[in-house]
Structures are given as C-alpha cells and as structure tokens.
Structure 1
Amino acid sequence: MSTLQDSGEKPSIYLHRLQVALSVTIKRGGISPEKADQHLLKQFCRGCWDNSLIADLQLEQKKMNPPSFAELLLLLRTEEDKCTAKATRMKQHLGASKQRVLSHSQRAWMSSESEPDVETTETTPSQEQRKSSSAISQPRTTTSKTQRGKPKPWYCFTCGEDGHIASACDNEPNSVLVTTKRKQLKEKQRLWESQNPSADQSPHMAFIQTNGL
C-alpha cells in the first residue's frame, strides 16, 4: 500500500480508508491476514502527517506488537475528541481573533473545522465594523459546512455496530440494525447531495463496493 493522508482528512477516517485498501490486498493474496495489523499500523505511521499524534499515542513503539484495527480506531477517535473539545474551549475563551494567532499550535486536520470566521484589528471595532464583520462571516461559515465530505457508512455491514467493518467482525449478524443504519445513511446522503449537487461521488461509491454494500 502507498496511500497517504489527504489534506484536512481526520486520522480516524484515514485509518478507515487504509483498512479498506488492506482488506482488498489480503483478498488478493498480497498480505497474509496474520500480518494485517502490523501492515496497517506501519502504513498509518508512514502516511499520517500528524507527527505529534503519532508521538502522543506512541504508535512507532507499538509496531512490534500492534493494536487491532478496532483498538487503533478507538485511540484515534478519543484523541480527536479531546482536540476538538480543546479547540472549542480555546475559541470560547480567547475569541476568534486570538485563536487565529494561536492556530499554529493545533493539529493540521483541526484547521478546517475550527477556523475563525473573520480577522479583527487590535483596536476596538465600531458598530458599523462589527456589522460588516458579521455579514462577512456568515457566508464563510456556510461554505465550510457545505464543503464537508459526503456521509460514509462507518458501520459494520454484518452486525450494524460502529468501530469496525465486516471483514473484521466477530459478532452475530443483525440485519435489522444494518437496515436501520443504511436508511439513516441514505437520508444523510440525500441531504448532503441536495446541498452539494456538483460534488464528486466516485470515492464514496468505491468505498461501498469495496465493503460489499
């Protein structure tokens, strides 16, 4: 595998994409199932641009005894939640203008979600300036929301639970939950498509075909 993390892509989403590619490679006989976790962690450390995340979770030290896909995914999502919560607190405490100054300390994948609306000067703005600033910030916020990726099926197609895919599922099949999750996903996708009529849908279709939906 030579897949690298895309710009603005969360580490957990990048890991999930690697897992899909790895599953295809295993089915083709390119990698033995026993080495799957080791190859997954090795490629993640190589392709993830967030070195501070890799260092914080000590992922390089875990290559000889790598965690499973589900365990690694949980570690990444927990770390992402912590960073998101911290960015929210910082924005509330410091305000939009100071957050832009300190944004270099945040991880790269956080920039697209917590970017402040507008820049402000050091002087206190007048009432007319505040109105103008508010008018400018509104379309930028809307653009940020509409440019997010199309909803993807982050659930197992066998049992319906989150956190793993069908190829790594040890649970009993649950067609009722899978059907429910599929309906919810389709509703979210229809809403997204109505807001993004010109977006490219090919990556999502490839993901579904790979997982056997």
Structure 2
Amino acid sequence: MTFNPMIPTLSITTGNMPPLQDTSVARLHQGADSVLHPTLPPRTARNTCPKNKSESPRLLQLSEWHDGILDDELPPDCIQYTIEWKVMVNKKVISRDTEEDVALTPSAYWPMTLKCKLEKLLEGKASYKGRVRSDDTAIVVSVNDRSQRDLMKRFDHFYIDWTTVEKQLLRWGALFLRCKRLRLSITFKFVEDDRLCRIISGRVEKRGRSSVTKRMLNE
C-alpha cells in the first residue's frame, strides 16, 4: 500500500484526531470543557414523542446543554434521534454500538461524545492501535416511514458535513411530532496502513536489539 502523507491518519489521542472542516465545531469546544459525554438517560419508545406538538421541532444546541440534564428539562420542541454506529477495518466489522435518545445536535454530539468513544474503542484493540488510518465515513439518515427515502452520504475521512445531516433531521421534524423514529446509521471505515505497521514493527525490533546489546554488555 502506498502511503500518502496528505491523508490524515488516526491518532489514539483526542488532541491528534484529524481536524473537522466545519469551523463551528471548534467553537463548540471553547468554554465547554466541563461538558462531558452529553447522552440522555434511556427512555421507553412510547415516551419519545414531544410533549408540546404546537412547537416547531428543533435540535438542541450546545448552549442549552448542561451536564446531568434530565429528560424533563429538555425543551418540549426538542427532536430526539438514535445513532447506530459501527467500525470497519479492511471491510470487516470490528464493533457496533447504539446511542439512544440523543437530543444534542449531531455537530455537537460528534466532538463531545461520539469521537471520544471511537478513539477509546480503537485504543483498546491492541491489534489495530496505531496501525490503521481513516478511509471514509458513511452516514444514512432515516425515519420509520415508508413514504420517505433515506438520505445517504459519504465523506472522506472525518470531514463530515453535519449541516446536511441536521437539515434532513429538521425536514422530518413533522414526522417526529407524529412519533416517528429518526435514526443516524454511521459507518467509520479504516484501512491498515503498511507503512505504519512497518514503523511500529521497526520500533519493536529496535527496542529488542537494544535490550540484547545491554544484556551482553552487562555480562
């Protein structure tokens, strides 16, 4: 495999993830250090409909969020959705997970919660740690209404246009008012990088040789 230095590689540290194109995400981090993993408490399916159907449905913004927010504290016009996400390496699924009853807008939920979970997942798999790079990200926005077609988008690496995703969720706001379920299905695709593997193998081999040399000198 030919290594292209212009393609961002995945780093297992939060600070070294490839930058997102949407500059609004960077602004989300400013003044939000105390906000950690904004996930709502689980709710039963029959309770996911908005309480006030006279309001125009919208997505919860980070400025409205606080750590430990309760379900009853959410604005009555707040859209909630499910995120089903999976990770693939060389076209093989290595993990699946679900985020239920998410209220925070996707462009804020990604850097605040989902990206952190993705990093932690890959960090915990020794066979992939430091050996893979991001290929692309596929997102399907759907609703359980047969009259509506899914929105399918593909993005290079982690350069996700969340505005497109959020617009589709808002378009289906009226369906949410009728207790239809909105869903994001996200597939993060990675490939093993031969150059990264050689670099890591070289470091291990070098450390091994150094240990042998030191042992011989001590003897």
Taking structure 1 as the reference length, what is the TM-score of the superposition? Answer: 0.24
Of structures 1 and 2, the one with the larger relative CO (CA 8 A, separation 6+) is 2
Q: More strand by proportion, 1 or 2?
A: 2
Q: Which structure has the larger Rg over C-alpha atoms?
A: 2
